[in-house]
Chain A
Amino acid sequence: MEFRPSTDSLVMEHDGVYSWLETQRHLWRIRWGLFSDKVRWFTGEVIGNPSALIGGLVMMFYVAMAVLAPRLAPASPYNGVLTSRLAAPAWVSGNWQHILGCDEVGRDLLSRIIYGSRVSLVVGLTAVGFSLVVGTGLGLVAGYFQGRLDSALSRLSDLLLAFPYLVFAIFVMAAIGPGLTNLIVALSFKGWVEFYRLVRGQVLAEKTKEYVEAARLSGQSDWSILFREILPNIQPSLIVLATLRLAHMIVTEASLSFLGLGVEPRIPAWGSMVNAGRDYMLSAWWVSTFPGLAIMFLALATNMFGEGLRDILDPRLKVE
């Protein structure tokens, strides 16, 4: 029996009887092999690219921080000890119990920052994920099939684009009130448009290329073409955009929290921490500064990762 494997079709010549299960097993082994090759290549590329490497590592650090928050945080982020109000960071006060000091109600700053990463990451990742899926899905369909759906969506996206991003998010939050899910909704409401436009534009461009014509001639269904031929070609720019938007959304979430329009007040969020510290800037500068640094480094890392990814995935690399 002879296998000539490729990614999506398996040509078998056999003079025995093979069960369907065997076939599937072989198929999946092949697919896994190709996948792990890709993963290996990708990791190699990331290591070679300093921007992506540093960015990626820092991002993973933040994710670890968010996931392991209960284990990592030295104190409770919710309950403050009023006697430690506005305690200075360890290197000033000498009290190593509160490494970064305390906020205005005595809560340990480090713990709050660690827990704050959860909000930022959850909101950012979910909003980006949602925007990505919705925007890409709609973009693929609109770009490929065009017609009324396309024009309707274009009108809608024009309308949404008429608002500057932050204004829109603020407006939505003002209307529906604070809260985690509301925040995600607000960010995604406009976020999907960017993905939609990118995907749609690229689908329109790819549609005219020969491989699409070839696939159609060989009898592939439209949906199959969309997902298995066109989508892989669009992936690189999509991934890069997603990363960059993630950075933007993290900053936007922080800005919204800063204005008091973020999550519920009880949940520690970096933006609201910065806001709370504003009144004490003269006496306790650390209350605002450290959360802000946390935001900045995460955004910076995400941007770096995105830029590095762009270098890796974009075939039009820099000229030697």
Chain B
Amino acid sequence: MLKVKNLAVNFPTRRGTLKAVNDVSFNLNDGEILGLVGESGCGKSMTLLALMGLVPYPGQTVAGEVRFVGQNLLELSTKEIRRIRGRRIAMIFQDPLTTLNPVFKVGEQIAEALRVHNMLESEKKGLFSRPSSGPIREQVVRLMKAVGIPAPEQRLEEYPHQFSGGMQQRAIIAIALSCRPQLLLADEPTTALDVTVQAQILDLLRQINQEEKTGIILVTHNLAVAAEFCQRLAVMYAGQIMEVGAADTVITEPLHPYTRGLLRSLPYLVPKGSPLIPIPGNVPDLAQLSPGCPFSPRCDVATEICRKQPPPWVATEPGQAARCWRLT
């Protein structure tokens, strides 16, 4: 369904050009759940934004191809891509409270998504049809019920700050699903929520994936969640994808030293009683990257060529690949 090739997003800064997304490529098959994992600042959120053409100023998408159902999204005009946003590809964000507009009622915000893409089932269309009137209201209520918001008839008249965190996120999912998109981009949807609520939201997303066959790209820094929830994983570091493959395989038999390092250092992945081995060093400055593998300064098996030349993709089996010189 989605083929991303050589995507690159740059930000001009005083220190130099910051390569937030640096030659990223991956594929997503129909109805698949792909996890995009990595530490904070490694470019995963920016990748999602680039897919939708929403890279914030002063960043720019400078290279690459995003093939969605045949079309290259990066080549579309603004008008054309607007038709895709919300309708074919939808996005949900990390902090639900700041994602909902605080001055509009929740029901209104859901109805707006429907209205824009002419998905309203009523005859009364146009800017001023309010969700409080009949058929629109029905539709919104149905949506809210589908995502599990209790008492939707009252709730749709309320404002975002009157909802709890979990319900806010559900409302955002309702907005995202309102036009039945084929692809859902989820940027750390559970990070700002309590653990119990996290599980509920993830269940909801899984349900959506199974019932509607919606593809999901889940961005998270929590490997455990990704391992549990996603079918395939892509591990990102410093703006590049380091490893990609089936989730189970990546977790149990990691190919890339970074992935290995992560698995050794995260408390929820290391068996109880075993020592935690942190990865030495710091995340590099994305504006001053060295040539070669970005992980090389911290890698325990790095060699000369690792530091000098960007590593190639090496596939060990169909669907499992990593960018590492040590695999050749």
Chain A residues proximal to chain B, CB less than 8 Å: 320
Interface size on B, residues (CB 8 A): 3
B272 within 8 A of A: no
Residues of B with C-beta under 8 A to A320? 11, 13-14
Task: Report the minimum CB–CB distance from B23 to chain A (whole Å).
Answer: 23
Residues of A with C-beta under 8 A to B11? 320
User: Who on chain B is nearest to A320 by CB?
Assistant: B13
Task: Report the minimum CB–CB distance from B141 to chain A (whole Å).
Answer: 40
Chain B residues proximal to chain A, CB less than 8 Å: 11, 13-14
User: Who on chain A is nearest to B56 by CB?
Assistant: A319
Task: Report the minimum CB–CB distance from B44 to chain A (whole Å).
Answer: 20
Task: Report the minimum CB–CB distance from A45 to chain B (whole Å).
Answer: 16
- A320-B14 Cα distance, complex, nearest whole Å: 8
- A301-B140 Cα distance, complex, nearest whole Å: 56
Task: Report the minimum CB–CB distance from B286 to chain A (whole Å).
Answer: 12
Task: Report the minimum CB–CB distance from A79 to chain B (whole Å).
Answer: 57
State the 3 A-B residue pairs at the shortest beta-carbon distance, nearest first. A320-B13, A320-B14, A320-B11
- A320-B13 Cα distance, complex, nearest whole Å: 6
Residues of A with C-beta under 8 A to B13? 320
3 A-B residue pairs with CB within 8 Å = A320-B11, A320-B13, A320-B14
- A168-B14 Cα distance, complex, nearest whole Å: 48
Task: Report the minimum CB–CB distance from B311 to chain A (whole Å).
Answer: 30
Task: Report the minimum CB–CB distance from B240 to chain A (whole Å).
Answer: 22
- A320-B58 Cα distance, complex, nearest whole Å: 9
Residues of A with C-beta under 8 A to B14? 320
User: Who on chain A is nearest to B12 by CB?
Assistant: A320
Task: Report the minimum CB–CB distance from A318 to chain B (whole Å).
Answer: 11
- A113-B185 Cα distance, complex, nearest whole Å: 66
- A288-B73 Cα distance, complex, nearest whole Å: 63
- A60-B11 Cα distance, complex, nearest whole Å: 39
- A210-B293 Cα distance, complex, nearest whole Å: 43
Task: Report the minimum CB–CB distance from B11 to chain A (whole Å).
Answer: 8
